[in-house]
Structure 1
Amino acid sequence: MHLAGVDDATIEADYLLTNARTAASRARAEAEIARHLGPDAVEVFEPTLVVDVTYLRAAAATIADVHGDRASYLREGLGLEEATLETLRGLLRAE
């Protein structure tokens, strides 16, 4: 999303929508965990079933620490060439 020019606040808001959009499947998974491993196990597994903005922010901070910025991460960390980035940017912005 950043590659497409989306601001951080919008990226975070979209990321957090995951919890609302996956609530039904998460409830089913939690029910299965409780059934097979007991109700106390649900709390143990919950962090793997939800998104938390601190996870996203931690990833962004690590990218900044290691690569300086997101553009460098894409080019140097992932090895994407500028032509590939332009193609991706165009696809993400396509209407």
Structure 2
Amino acid sequence: MDSYTAAKRDFATRSGLIPHVVLFTAEQLTEVYRSIHETLQNYSITSQRQEHLSSAAEQIERIVSDLEALAEPSNQKELEFAAIEPPREGGMQLS
């Protein structure tokens, strides 16, 4: 996000035009982005759902300028967690 866009968003939030609770943080968007890619890589989904998720991922890429830098520590933590946590049975299935 360029500085002008960030300034407009900051003004709109601080002035109350956009409630702060409806905005996602960069960290939240990073986790959503990671989850989208995990879903696209690991699950069979309809082409319509795939289009929606791909579009959302592209939008997040445009919004979060340091997406890769934010995603790397999250990926590392997940790998560390997976190394110690035994796999669970009965995981969530998407239809």
Task: Give the alignment's TM-score, normalised by structure 1.
Answer: 0.33
Taking structure 2 as the reference length, the TM-score comes to: 0.33
